[in-house]
Amino acid sequence: MSLTGIERAQAWIMRVFMGVLFALFRILSPWRSAEFRGLPPVSNPLLLMSAMQLSQKIRRREVSSVEVVEAFINRIQTVNPLINALVQDRFEAALLEAAQVDKLIQESSGGEEVLQDRLPLLGVPITIKESFALQGMPNATGVVFRRGVLSTRDAPPVALLKRAGAIPLGVTNTSEFCMWYESHNHLYGICNNPYDLARTSGGSSGGEGSVLGSGASVIGIGSDIGGSIRMPSFFCGVFGHKTSPGVVSNDCQYPDLSGCQPDYVSSGPMCRYAEDLLPMLKIMSGPNADRLSLSVDVDLRKLRFFSIPHDGCSPIVSSVDKQLIQAQRKVVERLEADLGVKVQEVFLPGLKYGFQIWNTYMGLPDKDGKPPTPFSVLFGEPGRPLWPLWEVARWMMGRSPHTMAAIVLSLIEMTNSSKPSPFILKQKEQLQKEFEELLGTDGVLLYPSHPLLAPKHHHPLFTPFNFAYTGIINILGLPSTQCPLGLSKEGLPLGVQVVTGRFLDRQSLAVALYLEKTFGGWRDPGAA
Ligand SMILES: *[C@@H]1O[C@H](CO)[C@@H](O)[C@H](O)[C@H]1NC(C)=O
Ligand SMILES: CC(=O)N[C@H]1CO[C@H](CO)[C@@H](O)[C@@H]1O
Ligand SMILES: CC(=O)N[C@H]1CO[C@H](CO)[C@@H](O)[C@@H]1O
């Protein structure tokens, strides 16, 4: 059995179509690259500490929460006009909350340990992806017709982080409806990459990636159905963890997912320092944290390591950048030298159908047979469904409230077939079996987070299937941590995703700590 001629032709037509479309838009479009390309360096040492270090200092009264919050507010005020990452702040409320924290610590008699146990993030600022409900903040996800809609409560993981003492500074930019891997929309504008303002910060959690990468936030939260945590974390040089499915609640995010999609989305932490990943995940998981046995120690020497350098050359996905192949090879060499392990290079032919598999599973009905809401319906709300070709015309006249990405998605949707391809379903089953055998309970896989370094703005429109590298991991239901690996010769972040068996998140988090120690973790984009 193989991919039918029609399916193959469909993929190629799509690719050519995107190429032509992009060439056309480059000629017609008003998009220009930003003149000023760099951020000022981080100067306040408070901005260069992990959330765990900051909370300890605050508890020990070595620094006040107000001082910490002020430091981050100042940095946001400096960089945000350049990156457009934070789309709504709550600075005044945050400063009041910080003052309350300082008062609580002055008056507390329980000692540091009690506070650490009950309030592990006490007094530490955090940023929140706008699609998560944060009480009183916009509930719009970059959609123009939702301007002015506010959240009336907190999404569960946001509430848990607040209850642990974190102080939200505001909410961050996303793609329109979180449906694309560039954070651009006509409500908040475009979000820029801290390492090169003419490039994308990724998406859909691109505002988080950008504000973290800029050194203007230390911890944040994202959601990921095809790479929305890992891609922006990779493009912006920070850590991002896609949790095992079903552990962190996905309630109270806009838009609602439908069909089978809720099975593949995961919320998780994004941060600049690897040591914050595990405590954040523990907090965000609430009562489900037990399922991850996060307190069990991981001995890296006892794990089995695998490396897959590329997807086996899918014709619709870019080839992996040489510098990324090299960086991954360096990780392999260091692991072997430092830990005395043998890293096995493997090849799984099914990976080259990553996009088709992801696309097929996104379209499957839920267990009651209800199909997912088509993009065109979602994008057209509250009116009638979007008519993609008409919308292209409106876009060209500068009249569309939607981004080109949203329009392209509804165009792609028009090519969907009514029945999933049996070949693709079989490829997925085969891959699932291969991954389970490979990883077992002690296997760790290195796989590129993305084939290209952070692309220029709008370029993802003509490599629309490149998120297959992250998307396939969602469909396989596995946890994965994107880890930064220093900078490329152009000064853009390198990285790799570390995938482990389901509910064995603690293993990829342990590898993240090792990679940070070995490769230096996040770099100040202003220091270059
Ligand atoms: C956000 O908006 C959606 C759709 O309008 C609504 O269902 C949801 O309850 C809102 N969330 C919050 C927390 O207000
Ligand atoms: C560049 C840009 O469009 N920035 C906007 C980001 O969102 C805020 C809040 O809506 C606007 O005030 C900015 O103009
Ligand atoms: C299988 C599938 O998802 N089919 C959908 C294709 O798109 C149309 C409209 O865009 C939907 O109505 C179908 O349900």
Q: Which atom of ligand 3 is nearest to the CA of 410?
A: 10
Cβ(501)–Cβ(478) below 8 Å: yes
Q: Give the three-state DSSP class for 201.
A: coil
Residue nearest atom 11 of ligand 3, based on CA coordinates: 374
pLDDT of residue 351: 98
Sheet with 304-307, strands from edge to edge, namely 86-89, 167-172, 125-129, 219-224, 266-271, 239-242, 480-487, 493-500, 443-447, 304-307, 343-345
Catalytic pick among 50, 55, 129, 307:
129
Q: Is the pTM of this model over 0.85?
A: yes
Residue nearest atom 4 of ligand 1, based on CA coordinates: 254
**Which amino acid would we find at residue 473?**
I
Residue nearest atom 2 of ligand 2, based on CA coordinates: 189
Q: What CA–CA distance (Å, rounded) separates 66 from 72?
A: 10
Series of mean pLDDT values for 10-residue runs along the chain (528 residues):
61 70 64 66 98 97 98 98 98 98 91 89 98 98 96 98 98 97 97 97 98 98 98 98 98 96 98 98 98 98 98 96 98 98 97 96 94 92 92 93 92 80 97 98 98 96 95 98 98 98 98 98 93
Pocket probe for ligand 2: among 87, 150, 187, the residue whose CB has the most ligand atoms within 8 Å is 87
**Which amino acid would we find at residue 205?**
S
Q: Which atom of ligand 3 is nearest to the CA of 417?
A: 1
pLDDT of residue 1: 44
pLDDT of residue 405: 93
Catalytic pick among 204, 210, 285, 421:
204
Could you confirm whether 55 is annotated as catalytic? no
Pocket probe for ligand 3: among 258, 373, 412, 413, the residue whose CB has the most ligand atoms within 8 Å is 413
Please indicate whether residue 251, judged by its CB atom, sits closer than 6 Å to ligand 1.
Answer: no
Neighbour-count burial of 523, counting CB atoms closer than 10 A to its CB (0-12 exposed, 13-18 middle, 19+ buried) = middle
Please indicate whether residue 210, judged by its CB atom, sits closer than 6 Å to ligand 3.
Answer: no
Could you confirm whether 201 is annotated as catalytic? no
Q: What CA–CA distance (Å, rounded) separates 308 from 172?
A: 33
Record the tokens describing residue 34, joined without a space. Answer: 């930003």
Ligand 2 centroid from CA 434, angstroms: 46
Please indicate whether residue 151, judged by its CB atom, sits closer than 6 Å to ligand 1.
Answer: yes
Residue nearest atom 12 of ligand 3, based on CA coordinates: 374
Could you confirm whether 228 is annotated as catalytic? yes
Domains contained in the chain, CATH given: 5-287+302-519 (3.90.1300.10)
pLDDT of residue 293: 97
Ligand 1 centroid from CA 401, angstroms: 21
